Amino acid sequence: MIEANIDLQPHNTLAIPANTAFFARVETLDELREALSFAQQKRLPILPLGGGSNIVLTGDFPGLAIQVGLRGLTIAPSGRGGTIEAAAGEGWHRLVMSSVERGMGGLENLALIPGNVGAAPIQNIGAYGVELCDRFCSLQAMEISTGELHQFSASDCEFAYRDSVFKGRLQDQYIITQVNLRLAEDWQPKVSYPALQQFIEQQGWDCNSLTPAQIAGAVTDVRNSKLPLPDQIPNAGSFFKNPVVNADIYQSLKAQHPDLVAYASGASWKLAAGWLIDRAGWRGRRHEAVGVHHQQALVLVNPGRGSGDAVTGLARAIASDVQDKFGVTLEPEPRYYP
Ligand code: FAD
Ligand code: NAP
């Protein structure tokens, strides 16, 4: 059923108040097709919605927001790995924990990432050194203009760091309906991030006998200790991508700021955007309804449930200050609508 003039505040984790002209929750492929043809007849833009944890509503949306509620999760363990077929409306964290509970390894580093399965390929979600593309097999998506279903392999998706073809060449052309993953049987733990290592040391766990469940627990604890829960303090996670710069820029910055946090990424360097924002003096600062989280400067928060303008205004001020102080350009990670 298509509803008119619906408030999207409960549907975005930044809790920005904004209306959508039309709203549909779809639970089957036929319902999705019907919603798409409604939008086509009225020439409406479409906003596919999962959990709303990676969007910024800059104003009212003049089209049809489609909440993709397709359900279904099939998990087939094999050794310490196996295969997973998940419909787009399944919760991502539920999928991770369902695999970990069956003794399967490979997704534990991606525990507690908010949102739904259908959005995971959009920005190739990643955390603690693992990205969706490392476990990805294929996906099914409905073409918005025709309602036809298409299969995409990993190479079709053109995954990159927090990026995919669905944010570029094929943006706004498909709705992802199902994601298929393959977890290798010869699982090895990946715990190179300092925060994870520290947690494991504190627990006194033997690094040679770690289980996927232990790592998922460690990731959950570490994340809970420093990231604000959106239902308590509205936020969209990391607001900016970590900028990737060439070796010359990195060396010049490192000479000026010996404690710069950066990691080699091929021939380039990935700078920790949170460090740049913190060092520019923004951590914990509040601008009326919005602010910068006191423990993690990369997370913009909206405790006063301010407007999209308030959020994007703060983001612009931070990016401009970081540009002035470090000569580095910050790009927002969440997508702005409309
Ligand atoms: P939404 O916000 O609803 O949508 C995001 C984008 O995908 C929009 O452009 C939307 O139109 C599109 N989209 C959604 N569903 C579909 C679909 N079925 N078909 C086509 N397009 C679709 N991200 C990480 O990568 N790593 C992290 O560790 C991480 N941690 C986070 C922590 C917090 C506290 C928060 C709030 C966010 C975090 N994020 C992280 C960002 C976010 O959780 C992910 O990007 C997640 O995949 C978004 O899922 P969603 O269902 O909420 O997507
Ligand atoms: P962190 O562990 O404090 O690390 C700070 C930054 O350094 C991260 O951005 C991370 O890059 C990078 N980093 C740390 N150790 C690294 C290593 N061994 N190799 C390569 N890069 C390394 O970061 P955090 O903010 O607490 O987040 C922890 C993880 O969760 C990160 O992977 C982060 O991306 C993810 N996360 C993402 C979001 C989001 O909305 N996108 C929100 C919260 C957390 P990467 O970001 O590239 O990993």
- Verify whether residue 145 is a known catalytic residue: no
Q: For 158-170, what is the mean pLDDT?
A: 97
Under the banding of pLDDT at 50, 70 and 90, the label for residue 88 is very high
CA distance 242 to 246: 13
| Alpha helix positions (H), 179-306 | 194-203, 212-226, 247-256, 273-279
On the question of pLDDT at 207 being above 90, the answer is: no
Strands 149-153 and 136-143: antiparallel
CB 245 within 8 A of CB 126: no
Max Cα distance, the chain (Å): 62
Buried b or exposed e, range 15-49, using 16+ CB within 10 angstroms: bbebbbbbbbbbeebebbbbbbeebeeeebebbbb
Question: Which of helix, strand or coil describes residue 125?
Answer: coil
**Tokens at 275, concatenated:** 């460090």
- Tell how many helices (H) and how many strands (E) occur in the chain: 8, 20
- The per-residue pLDDT for range 8-45, each reduced to its tens digit, is 999 999 999 999 999 999 999 999 999 999 999 999 99
Could you tell which of 164, 193, 198, 295 is best to mutate to test the pocket of ligand 2, judged by most ligand atoms within 8 Å of the CB? 193
CA distance 25 to 89: 10
CA distance 73 to 90: 7
Q: What is the pTM of this model?
A: 0.97
Ligand 2 neighbour 67 (Cβ under 6 A) = no
Q: For 41-52, what is the mean pLDDT?
A: 98
Question: Which of helix, strand or coil describes residue 314?
Answer: helix
CA distance 284 to 261: 19
Q: Whose CA is nearest to atom 39 of ligand 2?
A: 238
Calculate how far, in angstroms, residue 254's C-alpha sits from the geometric centre of ligand 1: 32
Question: What 8-state DSSP symbol labels residue 50?
Answer: S
Closest CA to 223 of 96, 312, 133: 96
Q: Whose CA is nearest to atom 9 of ligand 2?
A: 272
CA distance 149 to 97: 29
The residues with which 49 forms a beta bridge, in sequence order, are 67
- The per-residue pLDDT for range 250-306, each reduced to its tens digit, is 999 999 999 999 999 999 999 999 999 999 999 999 999 999 999 999 999 999 999
Which domains, and CATH codes, for the chain?
3-68 (3.30.43.10), 73-183 (3.30.465.10), 235-337 (3.90.78.10)
pLDDT for position 1: 87
CB 101 within 8 A of CB 32: no
CA distance 61 to 50: 16
Question: What 8-state DSSP symbol labels residue 64?
Answer: E
pLDDT for position 45: 98
Calculate how far, in angstroms, residue 260's C-alpha sits from the geometric centre of ligand 2: 15
Q: For 183-189, what is the mean pLDDT?
A: 95
Catalytic residue among 135, 162, 279, 283: 162
On the question of pLDDT at 323 being above 90, the answer is: yes
CA distance 241 to 243: 6
Average model confidence (pLDDT) across the chain: 97
Q: For 293-321, what is the mean pLDDT?
A: 98
Question: Which of helix, strand or coil describes residue 80?
Answer: coil
- List residues near ligand 1 (CB under 6 A): 13, 47-55, 68, 88, 113-116, 118-120, 122-123, 125-127, 175-176, 227, 230, 235-237, 335
